[in-house]
Amino acid sequence: MSKRGDWPFYLSLNQGQGSILGWITVTTNSTPGSPSLRGSLSWIKLSRPADKFYPNGFTNQTMLAGSAYVPPGTNRVLATNLWEVSFHGGNLTQDDTNVVFLTSDNKLTNSPPSQPPLRFTLNAATGQFNGNIKLLDTGLEQSLNFRGVVLQGLNMGGGFFMGKSQSGQLLLRPAD
C-alpha cells in the first residue's frame, strides 16, 4: 500500500478465467458518512458455457465503498428505526422493496407485518446479515436467500442474492 493509502488490488477468479482489479483507497481518519474504503474496480468473467451463472461471461466497471464496523454494544447498529430493503436484478421481473423496523436489540422485522414474509437475521457483533423472503409477482417460484453487511459509516447496508441464472443486489437504506 502506498503512503497515501492507495492499494493496487487484484484477485484471480474462476480458476484463472476471471478477475477483479483496480485501485482501492484506504482512509483511516474518515469522517462519519464517508467511506473508509473506496475505489473503481474492473470485474471480468470469461465465457464458460458450462457455468450456471453468466455462462457468456461479462465485463463490468463497478465502484467499491466500505466502512469500518464497530460493534454497537447496547446501542443500535444503525442510526434510524425504519429501513427500506430493496431487491434488484437476479432474474426478478420487477424490483421489490420492503420496509423493515430495527428494534432496540438490533432485530429487523417487517413493517407492516402484512408484507411478504421476510426473515432477516443481523449479527450485531460482526455487522453481517442474512435471511430470506418470498417475493410476490417477481418471476421466481421460491424464496430468495440473501446475505450482506451493514456499512455504519455510510448508514446503509448492502448484499446479494442468487436468482436462477443471475445474481441480484440488496440495498438497506433509511426509509423516507
Dihedral sign of CA atoms 108, 109, 112, 114 in order: positive
Mean pLDDT by 10 residues, the chain (176 residues): 88 91 84 73 93 90 86 82 90 85 82 72 91 70 85 89 90 88
What residue ranges do the domains of the chain occupy? 6-66, 82-174
The confidence score (pLDDT) of residue 140 equals 54
Cis, bond preceding 49 (omega within 30 deg of 0): no
Contact status, residue 5 vs residue 28, Cβ threshold 8 Å:
yes
Count CB atoms within 10 A of the CB of residue 135: 21
Read off the pTM. Answer: 0.78
Per-residue pLDDT at 18: 92
Residue 139's pLDDT is: 54
pLDDT number for residue 44: 95
Q: Which residues contact 109 (CB under 8 A, 6 or more apart)?
A: 100, 101, 103, 120
> Quick one: three-class SS letters along the chain?
CCCCCEEEEEEEEHHHCEEEEEEEEECCCCCCCCCCEEEEEEEEECCCCCCCCCCCCEEEEEEEEECCCCCCCCCCCCCCCEEEEEEEECCCCCCEEEEEEECCCCCEEECCCCCCCEEEEEECCCCEEEEEECCCCCCCCCCEEEEEEEEHHHCEEEEEEECCCCEEEEEEEECC
Strand order in the sheet with 144-151: 108-110, 96-102, 82-89, 167-174, 156-162, 144-151, 128-133, 118-123
Q: Assign domain 82-174 one CATH number from 2.40.128, 1.10.357, 3.30.450, 1.10.3470.
A: 2.40.128
